[in-house]
Amino acid sequence: MKIAIWHNMPSGGGKRALFDQVRGLVGRGHEVRAWTTPLANQTFLPLGDLIEERILPYSPPPEGGSALHRISLTPRKIEAMHAHCRQAGSEIDAWRPVVLLSHTTPGIHTPPIARYVHSPSALYLQEPTRGLYEALPVFPWIAPERKLGPKECLVDWGRMRSMRLQVREEYDNARAFDRILVNSFFSRESVLRCLGLEPEVCYLGVDFGLFEDRGLAREPFVVGLGSIHPRKNVTRAVEGVGAVRKEVRPPLVWVGDVATPEYGQEVRALAESLDVDFRPLIGITDAQLVDVLNRATAMIYCSRLEPFGYAPIEANACGCPVVAVAEGGIRETVIDGINGLVVDGSASALGAGLTRLLADPEAAARMGRRAGEDVRARWAMEPAIDRLEAHLRQIA
């Protein structure tokens, strides 16, 4: 098949999923070509290493500025993306693919590309734009706590108008695709709640050529993986490690692609107050990440309502068990007592889980070996590409 790809992906798990999908489709003999924007990350797993990738102009307006500027920001951002997708759609149509596979774009997770392409289309939607629908940390549509002055009323009205415009845009864009694919049943429910659509679950896989158990000696530290951002709930991970008895409390090594400065300061201050040895590793290579996962005694995973959660099964592939909060897609990837421990979201429960693994390194190693067997049985890459390929053939 001739398969067109569109995306505007930053670094992270979503980009890894896209890269693995493209590599798998190319390996099956499909002719694949990609279109993207200059803002997509071109250094982390670049698609240009696998296929021809066209980078077309995209010039969204700058953030910030006056209240009036912020009020008009969302419609101008939407129009900038439409201008890019009109050009991309024209080029894609000229190439005449059998099917278009789109991934997402930051800010507005359902892009308008399907509205400008005549081929059948699928959107791999990692998750809806959660900030429009969830309390992160406050529900965005809640009324102000107090009466607002005239200028504050204008700003609040502009914020409400911007969110409503974005919801309308995401709603209309999503319906332009012939099929929406998601990474978990939890994500399916999220899309159903937010957009009223019923997507198909197309589980992802793990690259065992990269993530592998190298048989290294395990060391008494705990690893966390994900951007240092409130959604990754790094503070709860610090509290969980802090709940381990001080005499045996392990360092927390945190691997992330990016760090939010203000939140990073909050995390470091909390770690200092709880006497937790917090060691951030930002922007390390995949080889360094795999080395860390092969040496850690356990992974701690506390991400808020994570739609799928690559990190736990990547750790499992390296023989590292996981202590994870029972939220979101984690309930589909981590089986309590098999490839990790699934606990409630309290710091005490996380600390108890970590203490259990740290107190018995041999039992932790056995669970790590079982985790490696489990992840190879359930999350291999070849079946993941089988699933994706079947969906694309059905749509075409």
Query: What is residue 70's DSSP assignment?
Result: H
Over the chain, what is the mean pLDDT? Answer: 95
Per-residue pLDDT, averaged over 13-18, amounts to 95
Cα 337 from Cα 233, distance rounded (Å): 23
pLDDT band at 69 (very low <50, low <70, confident <90, very high): low
Say yes or no to pLDDT of 103 above 70.
Answer: yes
The two structure tokens encoding residue 257: 């692609």
pLDDT band at 67 (very low <50, low <70, confident <90, very high): low
Per-residue pLDDT, averaged over 223-249, amounts to 96
- pLDDT tens readout for residues 343-378: 999 999 999 999 999 999 999 999 999 999 999 999
Say yes or no to pLDDT of 43 above 70.
Answer: yes
92 and 35 in contact (C-beta within 8 Å)?
A: yes
Return the pLDDT at 68: 65
- pLDDT tens readout for residues 297-342: 999 999 999 999 899 999 999 999 999 999 999 999 999 999 999 9
Identify the residue whose tokens are 């917090």: 278
Beta strands in 21-132 (DSSP E): 31-36, 52-55, 99-102, 121-124
- pLDDT tens readout for residues 110-124: 999 999 999 999 999
Return the pLDDT at 42: 94
Which CATH superfamily is 2-205+381-395 part of? Answer: Glycogen Phosphorylase B; (3.40.50.2000)
Which of 323, 218, 237 has the alpha carbon at shortest distance from 279?
237
In this structure, the number of other CB atoms found within 10 A of the CB of residue 88 comes to 26
Domains 2-205+381-395 and 219-378 share a fold: yes
Say yes or no to pLDDT of 228 above 80.
Answer: yes
Say yes or no to pLDDT of 246 above 80.
Answer: yes
234 and 266 in contact (C-beta within 8 Å)?
A: no
CA atoms within 13 A of residue 212's CA, in its CB half-sphere: 6
Say yes or no to pLDDT of 62 above 90.
Answer: no
For the chain, the helix, strand and coil percentages under 3-state DSSP, each to the nearest 5 = 45, 15, 35
Cα 156 from Cα 266, distance rounded (Å): 27
Instruction: Give me the CATH code for the 219-378 domain, please.
Output: 3.40.50.2000
The two structure tokens encoding residue 388: 């994706």
What would the DSSP string read from start to end of 102-147? Answer: E---SSSSS-SGGGG--S-EEEE-S---GGGTS-SSS-TTPPPSSP
Per-residue pLDDT, averaged over 199-211, amounts to 97
Residue spans of the domains in the chain: they are: 2-205+381-395, 219-378
Cα 201 from Cα 390, distance rounded (Å): 12
Percent of the chain with pLDDT over 70: 98
Q: What are phi and psi of 253, to 5 degrees?
A: -95, 120
Which of 270, 239, 263, 230 has the alpha carbon at shortest distance from 137?
230
Say yes or no to pLDDT of 66 above 70.
Answer: no
Say yes or no to pLDDT of 192 above 80.
Answer: yes
Angle, CA of 103, 15 and 267, to the nearest 5°:
120
Cα 250 from Cα 130, distance rounded (Å): 33
Return the pLDDT at 73: 87
Cα 99 from Cα 4, distance rounded (Å): 6
